[in-house]
Structure 1
Amino acid sequence: MALTPPAPIRILLAEDDAALAKLYASYATGRGHAVSHARDGVETLAAALSQLPDVIVLDVAMPALDGRDVLLRLKADPRTAGIPVLVVSALGGDQHMRDLLVELGASDVMEKPVDLQIAFNKAERLVNG
């Protein structure tokens, strides 16, 4: 029995490192997903409101607005509160930080460098169950 590919999802990628963002986007589009990119926290909030993506892949250490603040604001706004957020961060290995991010509303937290297959499998599961 052949595995059916996952249904395409709309991913908002919040990542200030251009090379990483390109890598993630290339991988996700290769899996059939639509990807938009925000380079900082302010852009992330604006894009989340205008696009209402299926899932947000969020970095923590970003300019203009930290990922923790972005997460807090996303979850406080009824229009974006239901969007699952997968945090991918260099800080993801810190248990205190992981706990805080989950408390703020992150659906899951992964540590950079991340295995793209595992990360996007998680993103797909967050959307498709």
Structure 2
Amino acid sequence: MASAVAARPLRILVAEDDPAVARLYASFAERRGHAVVCARDGAEALAAAAAERPDVILLDVAMPRLDGRDALRSLKHDPATRGIPVLVLSALGGDQLMRDLLLELGAWDVLEKPVDLQLALDKAERLLQR
């Protein structure tokens, strides 16, 4: 059974264009003791990842300006952000072709929306405790 609080606080970047969903993810992570930065689209996510160097990125796929696929591709091609684990949280997560593409692009895992936040944060915490 995973604990409700991680061994160490994480810096989490939430890249999500729906403000209500972003607030939900952020408040859930903050209640677990983590620091959260939010980005409203893929372009903001790239800038925030480079500036903040988060421990993990929670990335939506369907976003304006730069979608999650292109953001993920850019994150994994940039030496400064390549090593940051990306957990994709998407309504498209149930599409096996999309899931395969996201994993091929470098996603650590893909979870389908609506996301079980307990499961998502447990996964991120376990990954980063290794």
Q: Give me the whole-angstrom Cα distance separating, in 2, the residues matched to 1:19 and 1:80.
A: 27
Q: Percent identity?
A: 69
Match of 1:79 in 2: 80
What TM-score does the superposition give when structure 1 sets the normalisation length? 0.96
CA shift digits 1:24-64 (9 cap, x unpaired): 10000000000000000110000000000000000000000
Q: Is the 8 A contact 1:87 1:109 kept in 2?
A: yes
Q: What is the CA–CA distance in structure 2 between the aligned matches of 1:123 and 1:60, rounded to whole Å?
A: 18
Once superposed, which parts of structure 1, at least 4 consecutive aligned residues long, lie more than 2 Å away? none
Structure 1 counterpart of 2:126: 125
Tell me, in whole angstroms, the C-alpha distance in 2 between the residues paired with 1:113 and 1:18: 15
User: Which one-letter code corresponds to 1:70 in the other structure?
Assistant: A
Quickly say closer, same or farther: Cα 1:62–1:97, change in 2 above 3 A: same
SS of equivalent to 1:80: coil
Cα displacement (A) at 1:126: 2.3
Match of 1:96 in 2: 97
3-state SS in 1 of match to 2:83: coil
Counterpart of 2:5, as a letter, is P
Measured in 2, the distance between the counterparts of 1:88 and 1:127 equals 18
Counterpart amino acid of residue 127 in structure 2: L
- Secondary structure of the residue that 1:102 maps to in structure 2? helix
Gaps of 5+ in 2: none
Letter in 1 for 2:128: V
Q: TM-score, normalised by structure 2?
A: 0.95
Partner of 1:20: 21
Counterpart-to-counterpart distance in 2, 1:16 and 1:39: 4
